[in-house]
Structure 1
């Protein structure tokens, strides 16, 4: 199991150092800011929608390794998905990081599995979910600033 944890740690470190889709999107359909006042993580999520499909997603901002890696994985995971599929991915990720992953298969989790250890550190759950809550707000059309508090 330690090999698996090490692999997950490498995935998180890679996405932190080399975040995917890390850029502003001036022509975004929706833009929402998210903030975690406990640790100072702050991200802006940009979406370009084509009907019910997420054509492009990107983010800017700064935060801890877990929050940045989570935003990076989120952005590459939901790209090309429908709003409904992205909502299901939000639910899956939230269950994973809050320790309610029973019944989730490795196939369902995919790259999200790298965050399975977050549930052991309750203080980091908000770091991991910030970008995802901000995405959900953008998908719902609520462009108010999202806070983890």
Structure 2
């Protein structure tokens, strides 16, 4: 990862950790799911309001490291307004980028800020931190509402 990309990665992680977007509960959520990584203690609840096949609103609450919190925050901004039918492709792309399987430069236009999470691939132990909110989102969208997901596996 080049220095400019590394700086942007650090800036986004720190900004979204200090001031997470869409933080808090959502009273009229249609989908709610708890995600937990017992190995590190990251713990979040994702709230979604799905209307007409789109994510009308999204919120999250909980606690965890800077990477997991900023990932949840950026994710919440990114998916708001998107069709549920297209979100799975973004979940897959994000996971491949944080695992270092894709060149983030090729996906900057499509993923925006999410591409900077490629920096996580330099720290394999932190991949689960970045992907916890995304695993939780995926499971919430695919029928595991009002349940919980663990990244312990």
TM-score, normalisation: structure 1 = 0.96
The 5 A counterparts of 1:70-149 are 70-102=71-103, 104-143=106-145, 144-149=147-152
Which runs of 5 or more structure 2 residues have no equivalent in the other structure? Answer: none
* Greater Cα shift, 55-64 or 86-95: 86-95
Asked whether the equivalents of residues 107 and 115 of structure 2 are also in contact (C-alpha less than 8 Å), the reply is no
- Aligned to 1:145, the other structure's residue is in SS state strand
* RMSD between aligned residues: 1.2
Contact conserved, 1:23 with 1:59, CA < 8 A, in 2?
A: yes
2:103 and 2:8 map into 1 onto residues whose CA distance is: 21
Distance 2:95 2:46 in 1: 18
- Separation in structure 1 between the aligned mates of residue 114 and residue 9 of structure 2, nearest angstrom: 9
Q: Distance in 1 between matches of 2:22 and 2:103?
A: 30
Residue correspondence of structure 1 range 52-63 to structure 2 within 5 A: 52-63=53-64
CA contact (8 A) 1:12 1:114 kept: no
Q: Which runs of 5+ in 1 are unaligned?
A: none
Name the CA distance, whole Å, in 2 between partners of 1:108 and 1:95: 14
Aligned to 1:38: 39
Count of aligned positions: 149
Runs of 4+ in structure 1 over 2 Å off: 102-105
Q: TM-score, normalised by structure 2?
A: 0.93
